[in-house]
Amino acid sequence: MKPTTHPHIATVTTSARKGDVVKTRWTIRQEHPYPRVEGNYGSLNWGNLETLRPDYHARERGVKPTIAKHYTASLLRPDFDPEQATGNRQDLAGWDGNAAPLSLRGASLGEVDIRFRGHYEEIKVRGFGFPTPGEAKWIREQIIPQIQAYIDEQAFTLHAAAVGRVRARFEDELTKARASLLKMEQEAAEMVAAIA
């Protein structure tokens, strides 16, 4: 099930030069596993569960299933309209010709993603590139504190949205598996009828 809107949008105000104020919008989401149905040795199992199913030793110690408190913030294009959201990179600044509102010393940062990993942040600019030391310093000083404040304030709703996406993913995978099993049942009946 593909999301069609960005429910968590933070507004961030930055300034690369004195008197030059730029307001940007960022879509923020808590990351989560993408479980899938896998076939192994004649049985169906869940794969790609990550922290949703702790390993045997962790379960013995009472570790409960969880979703890591990891978040991703992506810079939205300046003309982004939530009503026209695609739910993919077409909504992002700097992607495939979309305008990019952030620049530092005349260089556009293009598509910007910031991944919050507990005690550190991973910053990507111009798609999947690393920022220069000056760009990283500016982002850490002007952008990250505002996004972190939004995450802290919205942690409950970000988590609820992530749980909803995981639930939808489970349902989608089960629907596809049921359809595959039904098709296999029909194929088996046809093969048995053909050899009878």
pLDDT tens sequence across 160-184:
999 999 999 999 999 999 999 999 9
Whole-number Å distance between alpha carbons of 23 and 143: 11
Residue 18 has pLDDT above 80, yes or no: no
Q: What average pLDDT does this structure show over 46-70?
A: 86
Whole-number Å distance between alpha carbons of 146 and 143: 6
Residue 81 has pLDDT above 70, yes or no: yes
Any domain includes 38: no
Q: What average pLDDT does this structure show over 136-144?
A: 96
Split into its structural domains, the chain has a count of: 1
pLDDT tens sequence across 33-51:
999 999 888 899 999 888 8
- Provide the pLDDT confidence category of residue 55 given band limits of 50, 70 and 90: confident
Q: In 3-state terms, what secondary structure has residue 100?
A: coil
Residue 143 has pLDDT above 70, yes or no: yes
Provide the pLDDT for residue 1: 32
Any domain includes 20: yes
What separation, in Å, do the N-terminal and C-terminal C-alpha atoms of the chain show?
41
Whole-number Å distance between alpha carbons of 32 and 49: 9
Any domain includes 48: no
Any domain includes 100: yes
Beta bridge partners of 117: 70
Could you please report the per-residue DSSP string of 115-184?
A: EEESS-EEEEBTTTBPPPHHHHHHHHHHTHHHHHHHHHHTHHHHHHHHHHHHHHHHHHHHHHHHHHHHHH
Any domain includes 85: yes
pLDDT tens sequence across 103-125:
888 889 999 999 999 889 999 99
pLDDT tens sequence across 88-103:
899 999 988 899 899 8
User: What single-letter DSSP state applies at residue 65?
Assistant: P
Query: Where does residue 97 fall: left (phi above 0), alpha (psi -120 to 50 degrees), or beta otherwise?
Result: left
| Greater model confidence, 51 or 146 | 146
Whole-number Å distance between alpha carbons of 113 and 104: 16
Any domain includes 112: yes
Any domain includes 154: yes
Contact 79, 97 (CB under 8 A): no
**Alpha carbon 169 to chain centroid, angstroms:** 13
Whole-number Å distance between alpha carbons of 113 and 129: 10
Residue numbers of the domain that contains 142? 9-32+67-195
Tokens 């104020």, located at residue: 21
Any domain includes 120: yes
Binning the chain into helix, strand and coil, the percentages to the nearest 5 are: 40, 25, 35
- Provide the pLDDT confidence category of residue 188 given band limits of 50, 70 and 90: very high
